[in-house]
Amino acid sequence: MANVTFSSPIMHQDKTVYAIAGNTKTVLGLAEEHNIPIPFECQNGNCGSCLIEVEYYSPESKMSLALTEKEKSKLKELGKLTAAEIEAAEVNDMPPRWRLACQFVARAEDVRIIFSGEPGGAV
């Protein structure tokens, strides 16, 4: 089970929800289920409107790491993922800071999700 804490200037306070073990829901799906207003459009990794910043409470736990190819290329296009960060992710299992909520699945580790409330505008 993972604690996923959502934080945004457009929310009155942070909200923590639980992602059940074996959960395959994206962070965007989890947010929708709990009425957390992360902006989105395509829900398919193409538009970048669901950009989020992720803090990993236990950086040694890497199950959230997997970047989808779509996520990787969109984050690169947005200037939120450098070649060095891709290498760090793929070679050294270092989780990247920026993610797309519609692609990112929080599995077993606790994370804090930060978003501005503006499409494509992480805090």
The alpha carbon of 52 is separated from its chain's Cα centroid by a whole number of angstroms, namely 5
User: Which residue type does 89 have?
Assistant: A
Binding ligand FES (rule: CB under 6 A), the pick from 19, 50, 54, 111 is 50
Interface with ligand FES (CB under 6 A), residue total: 12
User: For ligand FES, which is the closer residue by CB, 2 or 100?
Assistant: 100
Structure-token pair, residue 16: 């923590």
What is the spatial distance between Cα 20 and Cα 42, in angstroms, rounded to a whole number? 25
Beta bridge partners of 100: 51
Q: Are β-strands 15-19 and 2-7 bridged in parallel, bridged antiparallel, or unpaired? A: antiparallel
Give the shortest CB-106-to-ligand FES separation in angstroms: 15
Structure-token pair, residue 104: 């990112």
96 binds ligand FES (CB under 6 A): no
42 binds ligand FES (CB under 6 A): yes
Binding ligand FES (rule: CB under 6 A), the pick from 40, 56, 104, 115 is 40
The answer to whether the beta carbons of residues 86 and 116 sit under 8 Å apart is no
Binding ligand FES (rule: CB under 6 A), the pick from 46, 57, 66, 121 is 46
User: Which residue type does 119 have?
Assistant: P
User: For ligand FES, which is the closer residue by CB, 48 or 95?
Assistant: 48
Q: Which helix (H) or strand (E) holds 75?
A: helix 69-77
Stretch that binds ligand FES, among 47-55, 56-64, 82-90, 110-118 (CB under 6 A): 47-55
Residues that bind ligand FES (CB under 6 A): 40-43, 45-50, 100, 102
